[in-house]
Amino acid sequence: MKQPTRRRAARRPAPVTSAPATSGPAATVAICTYDRYDMLARSVARLQQQSLPVDRFEILVVDNTPDPARSAEAAEAYAGVENLRWMHVDKPGLSNARNVASAEARAPIIVYLDDDAFAAPDWLERMLAAYEVLGDGVVGIGGRVLPHFTSPAPDWLGPAMLPYLSVLDLGGEVRPLQPGEWVVGANVSYRVAKLHQAGGFSPALGRIGSGISLMSNDETELAARLEALGGAIGYTPHAVVEHCIDPSRLSQEWMRRRIAWQAVSDFVRAPQETRAEIDTHWHDLKIFLAHQPPHLRTMRALALPQGSAG
């Protein structure tokens, strides 16, 4: 992963709790979930411990679980959470769920949090403060995402592979993104009006269902459209979440699938750019594949379990 250019350290964001009271929430925290109610409960519990006063933000759960009765039963557990709303959405797809959330948001800023991401106590306060630091020209901000391993990480999992697990650390400065940098959907926010102006998330990208498809690039493609409209995307290291890494994602089989789906996602997002990049690196790719075992010498094989490739 490309390391950001070092810059003069930005001043630490001032707390936003001293801002004058408003008639509505300052932020909508949107959690899009699919049949992971145990993880969701931990995520919401962390939100209930935020330093930002409860009347300054709302929690919007968008449930994509197919069974509406099961969704309604799960929602009952949150009946006592005063600033939480629950919506069941039949149409599948993470991008669709995120677009529903932005349409229903009651605040000018929407902050997307994965259902398996656990926010630090000052997470939301720091995310909002970053907008004050970076100014009106910034239309979206991503925060730091640290890995939360529930089982020991394997030796082969090096730093270069962590971005495939939605881990993000771009250094200690609040700043705009540099070319070649990106934010991740586990911890990202947008100005709602600008998000709508850009057309929201592309339904052709993003995960669908329980993970059969590992399509990604939804945030990257959206960022490109926001930048084309004159906006900038920023980063803050102070808005921190821990992203729970499921043990099933710590296998070489899953990592091969994830990387192969990344290639598909890159092509869907920008086919002409992807073709040009393939032309540039084709010689190196041929050398790499030539040194692989016979069952791993194609992109198709890299996407399959080792025992299935042939």
Question: Tens of pLDDT along the chain (310 residues)?
Answer: 433 333 333 333 334 433 444 578 999 999 999 989 999 999 999 999 999 999 999 999 999 999 999 999 999 999 999 999 999 999 888 889 999 999 999 999 999 999 999 999 999 999 999 999 999 999 999 999 999 988 888 888 888 878 788 889 999 999 999 988 889 989 999 999 999 999 998 877 655 555 555 445 567 888 889 999 999 999 999 999 999 988 877 877 767 766 665 555 555 555 555 455 555 555 555 555 565 566 555 555 544 444 443 3
Q: Is the C-alpha dihedral spanning 77, 79, 82, 86 positive or negative?
A: positive
Give residue 7's pLDDT. Answer: 36
Query: Minimal CA–CA distance to 252: which of 305, 205, 291?
Result: 305
Q: What SS3 class is residue 272?
A: helix
**Token reading at 215:** 């399509």
> What are the extents of the domains in the chain?
27-250, 252-308
Q: How far is CA 240 from CA 23, 123, 126, 196, 297, in A?
A: 27, 6, 9, 26, 39
pLDDT, tens digit (0-9, with 9 covering 90-100), for 37-46: 999 999 999 9
Give residue 74's pLDDT. Answer: 96
Select 27-250's CATH number: 3.30.70.260, 3.40.50.150, 3.30.200.20, 3.90.550.10: 3.90.550.10
Radius of gyration of the chain (CA): 20
Q: How far is CA 185 from CA 145, 166, 243, 284, in A?
A: 10, 8, 11, 31
Neighbours of 62 (CB within 10 A): 23
Give residue 122's pLDDT. Answer: 98
Give residue 297's pLDDT. Answer: 53
Give residue 151's pLDDT. Answer: 84
Rounded to whole angstroms, the Cα distance separating 280 from 207 reads 29
Tell me 273's DSSP state.
Answer: H
Give residue 165's pLDDT. Answer: 84
- Three-point CA angle 250, 251, 256, nearest 5°: 110
Give residue 208's pLDDT. Answer: 57
Answer whether 0.85 is exceeded by the pTM.
no
